[in-house]
Structure 1
Amino acid sequence: MSVNSARSLGDFLRSRRSRLDPASFGFSGRRRTPGLRREEVAQRAHISPTWYTWLEQGRGGAPSSEVLERISSALMLTDTEREHLFMLGLGRPPEVRYKSVEAVNPRLQRLLDSLQTSPAIIKTATWDVVAWNRAAAVVLTDYAALPAGQRNILHFLFRNPAVRAKQHDWESVARFVVGAFRADVARAGLVSEVGALVDELSRVSPEFEALWRDNEVLGHGDAGGVKRLMHPILGSIELEYSAFSVDGRPDLGMIVYTPLDGAVAERIKLLASQG
């Protein structure tokens, strides 16, 4: 860790320590400065007071991720502050904290709904679709018609014949989805959490089992950026897609599909308005 980074880390720790109310944590006694004392933070973080003091003074060296996690909890940092702490201390963000989610906030849903000609979805790290717009419902899948537990992209790609029939090249799509899914769940530390889904799909789909056994890892940039579909009403269409992380929720991702043909875009808008 550079001298400047160590100094910035120390300044940040002091600023976060000074805003905490000692009485809220059961600490008493007169104080010359606001906030917790250094030894009190160290006590809450279960680390040496001397080591914590060195960190604030910019001479403690590079802390481990475990130490930063303890300090983050001790200082009651928000997710954004926790990420900043790791960037200062280790030069990288912390591991993603996965949060179970069944819906998104109204602001994010309004963003999706504003994309009237572009199908757009929000998915979790385990590829469960938790939000979508009308364009996605008419072009991709009517997610509202599916039980909440079956809105997983792998689930209906490998188990829903109608979804499979829409794919211009199902084999290529399936290979990409499995490879990207594997990368996402590993990045989020959720390999064990998706074990039941993997076992279920392996039992019912020999194709999934073979792809999973290949251990291929892919990213969204590895699929060419264009999705081709055989839509029952729109016919053969091409959609350019982009993937975005959701601000403040690294466990969520937004995918937006933009029609390459203006006439197709207008037809999607018309279909979506009829729902």
Structure 2
Amino acid sequence: MLEESRCGREQSRRQQLRSLLQTARSRLTRDAVGLPQPYGRCRDEGLRQEDVAELIGKSVRWYASFERGEIPLPGVQMIQRIADVLHMEGGKRSAFYLLAAGHTPPPLAPADTVLEPVLRSLVAAQGPNPTMVTDCAWNVLLWNEGITDWFLDLSALAPEDRNIVIWLFFHDLAPERVGGIEEERREMLGRFRAWYCRYPGEPRIEAVLNRLLKHPEAAKLWETVGPREDPVVQFRTIHHPLHGPVDIPLITADLPRGMRLVTFLPPWHKLPRSLLDRHNRAAGDVSAVRCNESTPVHVNRPPAERN
């Protein structure tokens, strides 16, 4: 029954995608997109598949397959190119991204990251719970002592290495800290792909992806793993360096400008009291919150005012 439901949804997606693209083509002429008018062809005729293929630099066969919904991972840049060629705006553009990439595009690209004092206070207020703030590319911008204790001291890494998905694939400590590392990498890469679809062309995300594709396992997974939903509540098995494996829920909350608050909630009642006491001493201490120094801190200045 579940498999039949999935097949039905996939068939519906393909039908909607095909209908949307055919309608968009029919409303544009070759003149409207800057193509010369061939002899014997009606000037008012809508675009054909071969016209769109010519404009996006693909074969007619490839575009026909794409229009039928048979290209599983077309790439965000190509989706954006097709949307531009077919003059899609507003709701039609959002629907197109959703059908082709699994996620709607943002109305605007994310602004430069802004770290305000309130975010430091927010991280400090999480008490003993390991907490961090990330940007739209999953670069870690702020973190507390809990992250250092349960995972590693991020300040020991180069600023460009303080990234969640980069750490999972490239750092030798990741398999020791995170249980089920292979499935975790697959799951996180799918979620990262969803953010890649959400912010097409974002330089910070492109930079992380370029690094990921240099890792053999990540490059192979990128070819097969589609966008995955990023649930608000998740569960992890984290291997504490002193207390062994611990099942920990974590929650994420969206913040302005593509940032997220990520907080782990260890079962403190099952852990030594000394561990909780040590973390509680730093609770609420803004000075104990560490910052990625490669990210400029702009206090109370709107993005439009920054050079």
Instruction: Provide the rounded CA distance (Å) in 2 between the counterparts of 1:199 and 1:230.
Output: 29
8 Å Cα contact 1:123/1:253 also seen in 2: yes
In structure 2, what is the equivalent of residue 189 of structure 1? 200
Instruction: Provide the rounded CA distance (Å) in 1 between the counterparts of 2:180 and 2:274.
Output: 23
Instruction: Provide the rounded CA distance (Å) in 2 between the counterparts of 1:250 and 1:192.
Output: 14
In structure 2, what is the equivalent of residue 207 of structure 1? 217
In structure 2, what is the equivalent of residue 263 of structure 1? 270
8 Å Cα contact 2:131/2:143 also seen in 1: yes
Per-residue CA deviation, residues 8-62 of structure 1 (Å, 9 max, x unaligned), is xxxxxxxxxxxxxxxxxxxxxxxxxxxxxxxxxxxxxxxxxxxxxxxxxxxxxxx
In structure 1, what is the equivalent of residue 124 of structure 2? 113
Amino acid paired to 2:222? W
Aligned to 1:242, the other structure's residue is in SS state: strand
8 Å Cα contact 1:244/1:254 also seen in 2: yes
Instruction: Provide the rounded CA distance (Å) in 2 between the counterparts of 1:213 and 1:207.
Output: 10
8 Å Cα contact 1:118/1:265 also seen in 2: no
In structure 2, what is the equivalent of residue 97 of structure 1? 109
Q: CA RMSD in A?
A: 2.8
Amino acid paired to 1:106? P
Query: Where do residues 30-109 of structure 1 align in structure 2 (5 Å cutoff)?
Result: 65=90, 95-101=107-113, 104-109=115-120
1:192–1:134 Cα change, 3 Å: closer
2:232 is equivalent to residue 251 of structure 1 = no
Instruction: Provide the rounded CA distance (Å) in 1 between the counterparts of 2:148 and 2:235.
Output: 19
2:178 is equivalent to residue 171 of structure 1 = no
Instruction: Provide the rounded CA distance (Å) in 1 between the counterparts of 2:105 and 2:272.
Output: 38
Instruction: Provide the rounded CA distance (Å) in 2 between the counterparts of 1:266 and 1:104.
Output: 33
Residue 181 of structure 1, CA deviation: 0.7
Residue 93 of structure 1, CA deviation: 10
1:221–1:268 Cα change, 3 Å: farther
8 Å Cα contact 1:98/1:251 also seen in 2: yes
8 Å Cα contact 2:129/2:263 also seen in 1: yes
8 Å Cα contact 2:136/2:205 also seen in 1: no
2:235 is equivalent to residue 226 of structure 1 = yes
2:135 is equivalent to residue 128 of structure 1 = no
8 Å Cα contact 1:166/1:230 also seen in 2: yes
Residue 94 of structure 1, CA deviation: 5.7
1:186–1:268 Cα change, 3 Å: farther
8 Å Cα contact 1:244/1:253 also seen in 2: yes
Residue 136 of structure 1, CA deviation: 1.6
In structure 2, what is the equivalent of residue 236 of structure 1? 245
Taking structure 2 as the reference length, what is the TM-score of the superposition? 0.53
Name structure 2 gaps, 5 residues minimum: 1-88, 92-103, 283-287, 289-307
8 Å Cα contact 2:105/2:197 also seen in 1: no
Residue 214 of structure 1, CA deviation: 0.9
> What percentage of residue pairs aligned between the two structures are identical?
19
8 Å Cα contact 2:189/2:225 also seen in 1: no
Higher deviation after alignment, 113-122 or 184-193: 184-193
Instruction: Provide the rounded CA distance (Å) in 2 between the counterparts of 1:244 and 1:267.
Output: 29
How many residue pairs get aligned? The number is 182
8 Å Cα contact 1:119/1:140 also seen in 2: no
Instruction: Provide the rounded CA distance (Å) in 2 between the counterparts of 1:174 and 1:271.
Output: 31
Aligned to 2:173, the other structure's residue is in SS state: helix
Instruction: Provide the rounded CA distance (Å) in 1 between the counterparts of 2:275 and 2:139.
Output: 24
Per-residue CA deviation, residues 129-155 of structure 1 (Å, 9 max, x unaligned), is 101111122112322222211111121
Higher relative contact order structure (alpha carbons within 8 Å, sequence separation ≥ 6)? 2
Per-residue CA deviation, residues 86-144 of structure 1 (Å, 9 max, x unaligned), is xxxxxx9962431233x621111111112122111111111101011111221123222
8 Å Cα contact 1:119/1:135 also seen in 2: yes
Residue 177 of structure 1, CA deviation: 1.0
Instruction: Provide the rounded CA distance (Å) in 2 between the counterparts of 1:208 and 1:162.
Output: 17
In structure 2, what is the equivalent of residue 53 of structure 1? none
